[in-house]
Structure 1
């Protein structure tokens, strides 16, 4: 009876813990202060270790900043690092299990046993205490399952391929990022170049519109002529406003890509207006071979096919019997034991008989996954080859469009010079001045756009071929070193043309 209060207390504690586990928690929405604090912390994290822009920003430095500071690229790099960490962890699945255990046992009375006579079924009068009321048990056991070893081996190989897939996704994101930076940079350059000219032409057009409306009110001209004049001025104003709206977001897009402070003006260094026409000198066969060996999507398809094959092997291993080896060291403080410390070894063979029924279906499922992965790889290979031809043709078209836009701009520039001479002798009207300035601005804008499209087409062709800049680890390079590496590495087409020449001479 002395143990009854102890038992009641233990039951009360168990009941209290059970009720606590069933307790309901109310949803806790984030407060405005918590959101504000987290937003400030996130902004500080985004700007951490980002060098401020000093002086003018070149195209190579913009791409270097994007590679080093772009937030989406950082996320891709973290994904790749996470995949490699998962691979490192998966390798430990092949190790044996080493289990250390310790326990305490207590009861409120003695463990007493009796024996029964096998012949007449009578109980013996003797009673035996066979265990201490309180004792501790500890053990250290090593077990190794051969089935788990095989499954873990193929799982680790799959995880290694998944880590390589993450690397290919990072490469693809890098190609798209550099392509977007080129486009945004040239749009920002055109905005910087044309901003003052657009504003001057807009002011001139608004002045001409005001003068025309005043002349109409004073009936100094034919009303029809005045309205036609105003319509032409308004049409030019609409074009100027459309140009200004198109260029107004260029700096913000570039700042987002290179992780620069939003709203802060960026002075850009305008690169020379020239095209690298050596890309079209590379034979198409060389481009196809390069893409088949380096395209990020195609390499990812190869890795996925390999993962599917490893899944087939892993499925086959699961169908084998499970063989488990174990060895343990045990110790018990029970005083009734003659041997309180003992070593124990064992081997166990087990087999799930239902595998005889489900095995063929599991193998067919795994083989279907392999067939699907192979078909996707074949489809991706043909798509990549088509993309190479399309990207090459788009580059040729873009370069042709730039040549045409450059010729048109040259003519408009010469026309503008003649109109400036006429303006000096006050021969032309304000409408002519507005129209000529609008035409010149629109022609220059199209020239910038054509060059940006040509640059984008060249970057798209490089991305399709899977040509990477040889920059090594971005985190190990400073911004200046990365910029110099990108500047010195603009020899992609020369190398491919040289390799093609060497291959043709052999």
Structure 2
């Protein structure tokens, strides 16, 4: 009977073994083919075109159309809502918030479930050993495990060491969220500064473009007439050449001005999220109310040390480094863990196929006794380095504030000087036009006077831009920015009202 059963089992086992070998060979062959088939796949033109089209559609959907003229407040508001680089900073802050939320779940116990299936081609037959002779007893072999069985379990595990590390990680992620917020503030300060500066340069382009183009045309006509007179030898050769030299120099200056003005409009369109190359009508304020700075420098220094984004970021970085020291100390402690599980095994030879088990364990890595002191020293050195950076940054912030004050005072002087020069040059240009009409002056004098007046007007707009840039630098040093909350939750008009207060208060 045992021999027949053995033959039957041997036959079935042979079939199962052959089937298993065939499946294994097929899996191995498919794995090799798949691995060898991997190769670089460059983007096709159609795929790249689809990506570009999708991105452009998303950009246009998030952009508010421009209708009418744009004030400085609206330009800054559009930049904050639509500038893609600034939106990237907002995404980084959202990512940090998501990492903080995810790290909170790491402090919870681990609830693990698993299920499996086991198969073997031969029975797990165990032999017995004679207790007297120590020889195998082949007369009473036994089967201890089923050839095919299913298993499943669900278990709860909690480690004090993992909980402590996760707690400190969550605290670090909370500080990293605050670091991301300070970096967003810095990006906001820089964006507002760039918009305020570029706005006045672009405004100069709109106010002076027609005048520059007409003056270039007049200079070209005067240059053509001079060359004709030189060819006809109406005057001495040297006089027309000097005349042409002055005209060419004026043309060079005008072309440089025209190039600079054209670039400013493109830069402003990029900053406010408009399509590059689009024409934007800007509104020039009726008057300027630039004020002298407060003489209370100590108060400004106190505000800067409390609110400066760079300094606050460094304080948070120091806190992150300090927590890293606590984590290094925690890893030196023994780990105490608790486990509880509910398990199932489909082995038919088991009497109890379902059972519960619980336990606790204490583990300690003895090599921590060797590496622990070095880890603690490294963490403490990191804290010391961050503290040194923080103190150095305090001095840098104060220097930045005093430099911004100096730049503002200097820009204000240059602005007042530019007004006086522009008034004089405009009067000279008007006088040159009057003299040409009364035939007391020539076209060269009129063109030269117009060029000088244009350059003076351009310097006036640039001086206004420099004053606005200096104001933004002071506000960045002091950590001043509008309290706007979430940009997605505020309308463009409400954001303009909040920015109006910031831009009007100056400093």
| Coarse TM-score class (shorter-chain normalised) | over 0.9
- The DSSP-based 3-state class of the residue aligned with 1:337 is coil
How far did 1:17 drift? 2.7
Gaps of 5+ in 2: 1-10
**Post-superposition, which runs of at least 4 consecutive aligned residues in structure 1 deviate over 4 A?**
491-494
- The DSSP-based 3-state class of the residue aligned with 1:411 is helix
Q: Select the residue among 285, 300, 305 that pairs with 2:298.
A: 285
The answer to whether structure 1 residue 197 and structure 2 residue 211 are counterparts is yes
Aligned to 1:499: none
Aligned to 1:302: 315
- Whether the aligned pair in 2 keeps the contact of 1:275 and 1:399 (CA below 8 Å) is no
Gaps of 5+ in 1: 495-506
* TM value normalised by structure 2: 0.94
Q: Tell me whether 371-380 or 29-38 shows the greater mean CA deviation.
A: 29-38
The answer to whether structure 1 residue 249 and structure 2 residue 263 are counterparts is yes
RMSD: 1.6
Aligned to 1:400: 413
- Whether the aligned pair in 1 keeps the contact of 2:340 and 2:358 (CA below 8 Å) is yes
The answer to whether structure 1 residue 233 and structure 2 residue 243 are counterparts is no
Aligned to 1:111: 124
The answer to whether structure 1 residue 4 and structure 2 residue 18 are counterparts is no
Q: Tell me whether 293-302 or 420-429 shows the greater mean CA deviation.
A: 420-429
* TM value normalised by structure 1: 0.94
Alignment of 1:215-364 (within 5 A): 215-278=229-292, 280-281=293-294, 283-364=296-377
TM-superposition CA deviations, 1:383-437 (whole Å, max 9, x none): 0111000011111111111111111111112222333332332321000110110
Tell me how far apart the structure 1 counterparts of residues 443 and 395 of structure 2 sit (CA, whole Å).
58
- Whether the aligned pair in 1 keeps the contact of 2:195 and 2:268 (CA below 8 Å) is yes
Alignment of 1:334-483 (within 5 A): 334-483=347-496
- Whether the aligned pair in 2 keeps the contact of 1:470 and 1:489 (CA below 8 Å) is no
- The DSSP-based 3-state class of the residue aligned with 1:105 is strand
Q: Tell me whether 484-493 or 460-469 shows the greater mean CA deviation.
A: 484-493
Q: Tell me whether 480-489 or 225-234 shows the greater mean CA deviation.
A: 480-489
- Whether the aligned pair in 1 keeps the contact of 2:422 and 2:456 (CA below 8 Å) is yes
CA gap of 1:207–1:389, structure 2 versus 1, over 3 A, is same
The answer to whether structure 1 residue 486 and structure 2 residue 486 are counterparts is no
Tell me how far apart the structure 2 counterparts of residues 465 and 18 of structure 1 sit (CA, whole Å).
66
- The DSSP-based 3-state class of the residue aligned with 1:99 is strand
Tell me how far apart the structure 2 counterparts of residues 257 and 12 of structure 1 sit (CA, whole Å).
65
Number of aligned residue pairs: give it.
493
- Whether the aligned pair in 2 keeps the contact of 1:282 and 1:493 (CA below 8 Å) is no
